[in-house]
Amino acid sequence: MKKDIKMYVVGCETCQRTKSSNQAKAAPLHPNTIPTEPWTHISVDMVTGLPDSNGYDALLVVVDRFSKAIILVPCNKDLSAEGWARILRDHVYTQHGMLQVVISDRRPQFVSKFMTELYRMLNIKQNASTAFHLQTDGQTECVNQEVEKYLQIFVNF
């Protein structure tokens, strides 16, 4: 009988129009500001759980929020804040100039006292996102998924 009632309600146009939703309403999205030039706003994340290769077991993913350009840097999952600062200097700053905003998850190397002080000294705004929260850092999470797909295809990861 329960199945019959469910089928009736699903097929009943009046029931569908008048049925109240018991789902919580989604909070309004507050998108990140759109940069006006390349390499001023980046988002960063790490792909971990990779097999060891030449002493590396992770990839640091840096995405320019304006051009969608991607920098992939091999690293270790336990990358220190100082290591992240070196990567930032060697692969972003020296190639593209000074940043204005860095969006990252709350990994220790991204939100450590050292990095917070470095960002403060360089006048870089630090935005910490919630891990796997696509509304905040969806761009980098999508790139991570694509990188993982490519690795599965090409290196049997």
Collapsing DSSP states into helix, strand and coil, what is residue 102?
strand
Domains and CATH numbers, the chain: 41-155 (3.30.420.10)
**Residue 138's pLDDT is what?**
72
Pairing of strands 101-104, 41-47: parallel
Of residues 78 and 23, the one with the higher pLDDT is 78
Pairing of strands 101-104, 70-75: unpaired
**Residue 150's pLDDT is what?**
82
End-to-end CA distance of the chain: give it in Å, rounded.
49
**Residue 28's pLDDT is what?**
67
Mean pLDDT of 84-102: 92
Mean pLDDT of 96-109: 86
- From residue 8, how far is each of 11, 13, 18, 20, 104 by CA, in Å? 5, 10, 14, 16, 49
In this predicted structure, the answer to whether residue 3 has a pLDDT above a threshold of 90 is no
Mean pLDDT of 128-148: 72
Distance CA 132, CA 142 (A): 10
